[in-house]
Amino acid sequence: MAEVAEVETEEVSEEVAPEVDATEETTEEVVDLNDWRQSIKDEKVRAFADRFTSPVAAVETAYKFQQTISKGITVPGKDADEDTVKDFRKKLGIPDAPEGYKVDPPKGLPEELQVEIFESDDGKAVLDRFRTIAHQANIPPAGFQAMVAEFATLSAEGTSQQAKMRAEAVDAANDALKKEWGKDFDANENYGIQAVKTFDQDGSLTAFLEETIVDGVQLGNHPAFRKAWANVGRNMGEDGFHVTPGEGETQGIQEELDSLYDLMDSNETKYRSNAVQNRIQALEGKLHGDGAIVGSGGRSA
């Protein structure tokens, strides 16, 4: 029993923790777990976070953005491989080759311009060049159609402006010629027109005069041309324009005339026939113009 008592009365030597002074300062930052933005140090990021009412809202927004990015189309870089480029073009509906671009003329385009741009060989060559450029730049079909339509529209506007300027140039030319010719304006115009018709047997001259532009006006309407051909027309007789034959042709004509005039001595009846007289008249006209023939004045010897 004495041993038990001794144990009970043994002093306890365990250390007692020191008391903490409640007034002692601490350097640790106290974080308010209810304010989830508090731990964001970057001011711009913190300002962005202020747009969301809770972490859940921020995560939902981030998820939606990630979904949008995953569905987006990234433009291939210069070093992109062929498969990447093909995949990109497929997503945008871009054809595999330039020839795959289809295009329709815009509505309201003048028929002559439609033929020039979309049907003529030159027009088709220009469109093929556009196709190549569009394909290299990865332009979708809708963009190509819009580009060509704008080109056609600008061409139409340019053509209309040119036509207006040419019409104004023709009016100015008419005014100048009317002032110069006075009452002879209509007559001189007719002389010029008839002269052109005389030399334009297949229509090629008229086409040339219409297609050639000088000083902003068609050559056929140019004042200098009209004055020149009016003079040509005035110098043409009713039977046509007299052209002096060359030296070799003159000798042949004269020899034929001599043989016809010889008929006066050898066969006067034949000489006086209409056929011989008409032939003599024609040959004399070639040599001397339309002057009247008197007696045997045309004989060379």
DSSP-assigned letters across all residues of 103-151: --PPTT--HHHHHHHHTSHHHHHHHHHHHHHHHHTT--HHHHHHHHHHH
How is residue 240 annotated by DSSP?
Answer: B
C-alpha angle 257-259-262 in degrees, rounded to nearest 5: 110
pLDDT at residue 298 in the model? 47
Structure token pair of residue 227: 């004055």
Bridge partners of residue 240, in order along the sequence: 237
Q: What is the pLDDT along the chain (301 residues), one digit of tens a residue?
A: 445 444 444 454 455 555 545 445 544 555 454 677 888 888 888 888 888 888 877 777 877 777 665 565 676 777 788 888 888 888 888 998 999 999 888 888 888 888 889 999 999 999 999 999 999 888 899 999 999 999 998 888 888 888 888 888 889 989 999 999 898 888 888 888 888 888 887 889 889 998 898 888 888 889 999 999 988 888 775 455 555 555 666 788 888 889 999 988 898 888 888 888 888 887 887 776 544 333 334 444 4
Per DSSP bridges, beta strands 213-214 and 217-218 are: antiparallel
Is residue 270 within 8 A of residue 263, CB to CB? The reply is yes
| Statement: the pTM of the whole predicted model exceeds 0.85 | no
Q: Alpha carbon of 62 to those of 43, 44, 50: distances in Å?
A: 19, 17, 14
Q: Which amino acid is at 74?
A: T
Single-letter amino acid, residue 121: D
Cα gap 46→56, rounded to integer Å: 16
- Answer yes or no: are the C-beta atoms of 233 and 195 closer than 8 Å: yes
Which residue, among 105, 136, 107, 97, has the nearest Cα to 123 in the 3D structure? 105
Q: What's the token pair of residue 134? A: 């569009």
User: How many other C-beta atoms can be found within 10 angstroms of the C-beta atom of residue 109?
Assistant: 18
For residue 254, what pLDDT is reported? 87
| Angle at the Cα of 246 from the Cα atoms of 228 and 190, rounded to 5 degrees | 25
Tell me, what's the pLDDT at 60?
78
In degrees to the nearest 10, what's the CA dihedral of 52, 58, 62, 64? Answer: -80
Q: Are 214 and 222 in contact (CB under 8 A)?
A: yes
> Closest Cα partner for 295 from 273, 282, 277, 283?
277
Task: Return the sign of the alpha-carbon dihedral for residues 53, 55, 56, 60.
Answer: positive
Q: Which helix (H) or strand (E) holds 36?
A: none
Q: What is the DSSP letter of 237?
A: B
Euclidean distance between CA atoms 166 and 160, whole angstroms? 10
